[in-house]
Structure 1
Amino acid sequence: MDVGGVDCFRWVGRDSSRGGNFGDELGPIIAALLSGQRIRDGRATPEADPRPRLLSVGSVLQFARDRDVVWGAGINGKVIPPRYPRELDVRAVRGPITRTALLSRGIEVPPVYGDPALLLPHLLPDLSSRRGTGGRVVVPNLNELDRFEGPEVVSPLGDPLEIVGRIASAEFVTGTSLHALIIADAFGVPSRPIAPKAEHPLKYLDHYWGTGRHDVQFAASTAHAFQLGAVGPAVADLAALRQAFPSDLWSAQTSHAGTSQASNLVHGDGGPGGIDVSVVISGPGSSELVQTLESLSTQDLPGAEVIVVTDSRDSRPPTGATPLIAAPVHHIEPAGGEPARQAALRTASGRWVVFYDAGDIVPPDLVRSIGQRPSVRGSDVVIGDRLAFSASATFRPREALSSSPGPSPRSSISVDTLSPAALRRRLCGTAFARELLTRADLPFGCEPDGADAVSMLMALVIAGSVDITSDVTCLHRMPTGVRADREGLMLDDDLGALLRRELGLACVHAVSSLETDAYRSDTYRCEIAPRLVDVLLNPGPLVIADPSLSATVALLVAAMPLPSESDPLELLMFRLLSAGEPNAAAATATLIRDPRSPVAVKLGLWTEILLAVERTRLDVSGIADTAVESVRAVLGTTPASTADMAVGWAG
């Protein structure tokens, strides 16, 4: 659309007879309000004209071309091209997932986040005075117009400013329209997203992560959204977003030559003050922290510094714990809820940064090994062995770090050859070039248990390659009685938190080439299915009745399709749960855990399953062979329609 002679891109659906999607109409309107220009119908320039266009509101980066200017736009998880134009002029993006996608493709992106619609209250201040006068509002995604019913539903098709007014005046907003949820955030209206059925969850997470909310729970329905209440308020640097507005497009001074190319990182001979390695330790000032500090006190630490990050003065390192360390020791107390690792990174001056948690043991010669790497172009990430041990077991995950045969003691390999276990690895004991961390602007602290696996994956995607070293880079002593996974990592008892982390990892994988059948199989079969079976068979209070579990599983399956070579019953369990049938999923979990159940028990279980399949019209192809024996036992006692379905299964 022509805004004062500049083409401001807006997405128009194939069927525009009912009007455009209101959110997609907002880009040109916001550009006109900020530039002081008028909007005219049609294009400002011919299709073949090389002058740059402005891409702003919406998931529209798949339409970008060379020399276009990006201000607040995002990627669409359903349409991710293998490459983007190299000469994009990026001023801001919707969120960190979009930024990771572009950085990994060699396009420079400043860490300025936010959909331009967040500026609407400042551009249309009269609308802010109406807040709370319009009741509850439900806005569906354009592709889910028939999903919701009732007087609270507002169609996304229509006059854009009128719909913005309805949202701004609401007392609560929910639905699957990301545009509506963003506008609710802009005007401070309480809101809660509903898990979409027709959209990839990536764009939703991109917005929420970009506005400081990394653990958002999606609702399963409008009633569930009202029950959960509002998500936390958006936190965005609106001044930076507004300052990034490309007003220069309306002048003759714009230059685009080379503005988007990301230069290769070259490691110098040392950081400020000659520091090679910054060892960062985060955690409370407890016996675990003393254990980590003591592991450093016996080491020669040439060219190193130690940064200890604790959460209060009460957690300072105990007196006498640090003088024995042969390196400068800095103590930091983050302010204002700043994540510990982010605070440490602001202080770190080494070429390399290695993170540890309180309780980890820093192996001898690690600092020397990392710090004395040749200062030639190599990988920006060094991964070694993480050795976890307890009274009864030792875990050595490095043996499965790479799917490529036999890496040499220090070999640089492409990230896409890493094993599934390495791709969900914790940060601890991994060395990062400080330039990479600064450039990547990782979302440290976004996971409740501090694992920062999402940040680790983002760093790997942006780096593109890693160095694998045969050295042990982290030792961890497991507390007595604590359950651990395959890598000796403590298990989080909150299945919801695990699923939301895997959802975040899946969305980051979607913008890379790292999601493979092996990764999907490892995630579902090894990470999630056993935990899901445990929860379904031993449910806590109201877990079966709580739709949150089904909503999160549905989002995960949408972001990362179930592997075709999975166990048929596991596939059925995930599909039933995604369809909102937790009782039938629990019946499937029983068959998985105890396949030799008595026929009478199987009969009841399969009755529950078949009725749920019939209700939801699930595609159950691929499980017939597994179900034949049990289906035959069910035939005589189920309703005729269900029996007919069973006959079809049996073949």
Structure 2
Amino acid sequence: MLNKLVRQVRPPKRGEDGDADTKGYPVVDPYFWKPKVGLNFGDYLASAIVQRMLAAKELLVNEPVSRHRRLFSVGSVLHFAQTGDAIWGTGRNGKMGVDRHRFETLDIRAVRGPLTRRFLGELGHAVPDIYGDPALLIPKLFPNRFRRRSGEQAVGIVPNLHDTGLIVGDNIIDPTWRWDAVISAICACDFIVSSSLHGLVIADAFGIPCAHLRLSDTEPDFKYIDYCEGAGRSQFWSSTSVAEALDRGPLPPIAHDAEALMAAFPYDLWDA
């Protein structure tokens, strides 16, 4: 009898990320893209942010729910979505053609910006005009863990994952560091020059002046413009060197409604 009881209450198997294996019971799975080696801090923010949003309601990521769902949030990962997935702040990757988006219906709560909204609208999806990259919420979700520390470092350079070998220096902030280490390093800078989208997003979130650096043609402008327009930035431009970025100065500040994005979080997926 005791052995039978132990089997009944034993927790489900756990996947490589520590989340409950859906073979044990259905859960909501927060999606984030993983490179073949290591992690990219901008993509991993999806996990950290969803966990923190749930903690505000005393919920866990692996709460049992009535049916398995996937939640897409941070990242240019729309092309990985499948029919029935939920979307909260996700953006389209401008490198991916229409044929890579094979979903029929989506549960859309918010998107990164108006370019993604327009793209989904052209595919026949109803999309609310609630915009923003969820990484903009980091200061609200972690008010005591991360704070802007001006004066520690004049300039920080955040390369895109694909650009990490194209620039060197003591002020490089490596996007493969732990997510919290990257945020802390950005918060110590007075000016951020970044080819990483989330280098710009985190700088904007903490009110740190920033400029976009184009080191290669790997990433089209689509996601940067989509983010900037969704965050209420009046203009966007790129520089091809750190010297040019410093000479031109920072992009205009954003004017984003964080409360609307937070209010759109799909708590109802966790129906426990």
* TM-score, with length taken from structure 1: 0.36
Q: Distance in 2 between matches of 1:176 and 1:11?
A: 18
1:231 Cα deviation from its structure 2 partner: 0.8
247 and 214 in structure 1: CA distance in 2 versus 1, 3 angstrom threshold: same
- Secondary structure, aligned partner of 1:110: coil
Q: Tell whether 2:134 aligns with 1:113.
A: no
Q: Equivalent residue for 1:208? A: 228
Q: Equivalent residue for 2:79? A: 62
Q: Equivalent residue for 2:94? A: 77
- Secondary structure, aligned partner of 2:268: helix
Q: Distance in 1 between matches of 2:148 and 2:210?
A: 18
Q: Tell whether 2:202 aligns with 1:183.
A: yes
- Letter of the structure 2 residue corresponding to residue 207 of structure 1: Y
Tell which structure's C-alpha radius of gyration is larger: 1
Q: Equivalent residue for 1:156? A: 175
Q: Tell whether 2:243 aligns with 1:223.
A: yes
Q: Equivalent residue for 1:23? A: 42
Residues 236-288 of structure 1: CA deviation (Å, up to 9, x unaligned): 11110000011111115xxxxxxxxxxxxxxxxxxxxxxxxxxxxxxxxxxxx
156 and 204 in structure 1: CA distance in 2 versus 1, 3 angstrom threshold: same
1:188 Cα deviation from its structure 2 partner: 0.5
Q: Equivalent residue for 1:91? A: 109
1:86 Cα deviation from its structure 2 partner: 2.5
Asked if 2 retains the 8 angstrom alpha-carbon contact of 1:86 and 1:106, the reply is no
Q: Distance in 1 between matches of 2:75 and 2:67?
A: 22
Asked if 2 retains the 8 angstrom alpha-carbon contact of 1:28 and 1:39, the reply is no
Matches within 5 A, 1:399-414: none
Question: Cα RMSD between the aligned structures?
Answer: 2.1
Question: Which stretches of structure 1, 4 residues or longer, exceed 6 Å deviation after superposition?
Answer: none
Residues 516-540 of structure 1: CA deviation (Å, up to 9, x unaligned): xxxxxxxxxxxxxxxxxxxxxxxxx
Q: Distance in 2 between matches of 1:125 and 1:168?
A: 13
- Letter of the structure 1 residue corresponding to residue 35 of structure 2: G
Q: Distance in 2 between matches of 1:119 and 1:103?
A: 26
Q: Distance in 1 between matches of 2:204 and 2:125?
A: 29
Q: Equivalent residue for 1:304? A: none
- Secondary structure, aligned partner of 1:8: strand
Asked if 2 retains the 8 angstrom alpha-carbon contact of 1:84 and 1:105, the reply is no
1:214 Cα deviation from its structure 2 partner: 4.4
Residues 206-225 of structure 1: CA deviation (Å, up to 9, x unaligned): 01111222431211111111
Q: Distance in 2 between matches of 1:162 and 1:220?
A: 26
- Secondary structure, aligned partner of 1:136: strand
Asked if 1 retains the 8 angstrom alpha-carbon contact of 2:148 and 2:206, the reply is no
Q: Give the total of aligned pairs.
A: 243
Matches within 5 A, 1:283-294: none
Q: Distance in 2 between matches of 1:74 and 1:53?
A: 15
147 and 244 in structure 1: CA distance in 2 versus 1, 3 angstrom threshold: same
Asked if 2 retains the 8 angstrom alpha-carbon contact of 1:71 and 1:244, the reply is yes
Larger relative contact order (C-alpha < 8 A, sep ≥ 6)?
A: 2
- Letter of the structure 2 residue corresponding to residue 69 of structure 1: A
Gaps spanning 5+ residues in structure 2: where? 1-16, 21-25
- Letter of the structure 1 residue corresponding to residue 107 of structure 2: D
Matches within 5 A, 1:393-404: none
Q: Distance in 2 between matches of 1:196 and 1:113?
A: 27
| Higher mean C-alpha deviation, range 94-103 or range 213-222 | 213-222
Pick from 132, 143, 161: which aligns with 1:142? 161
Matches within 5 A, 1:257-272: none
Pick from 54, 68, 88: which aligns with 1:51? 68
1:6 Cα deviation from its structure 2 partner: 1.9
Q: Percent of pairs identical after alignment? A: 39
Q: Equivalent residue for 1:12? A: 34
- Letter of the structure 1 residue corresponding to residue 31 of structure 2: F
Residues 518-565 of structure 1: CA deviation (Å, up to 9, x unaligned): xxxxxxxxxxxxxxxxxxxxxxxxxxxxxxxxxxxxxxxxxxxxxxxx
Pick from 186, 195, 199: which aligns with 1:167? 186
32 and 138 in structure 1: CA distance in 2 versus 1, 3 angstrom threshold: same
Asked if 2 retains the 8 angstrom alpha-carbon contact of 1:29 and 1:39, the reply is no
53 and 243 in structure 1: CA distance in 2 versus 1, 3 angstrom threshold: same
Q: Equivalent residue for 1:240? A: 260
Q: Distance in 1 between matches of 2:194 and 2:223?
A: 14
- Letter of the structure 1 residue corresponding to residue 185 of structure 2: R
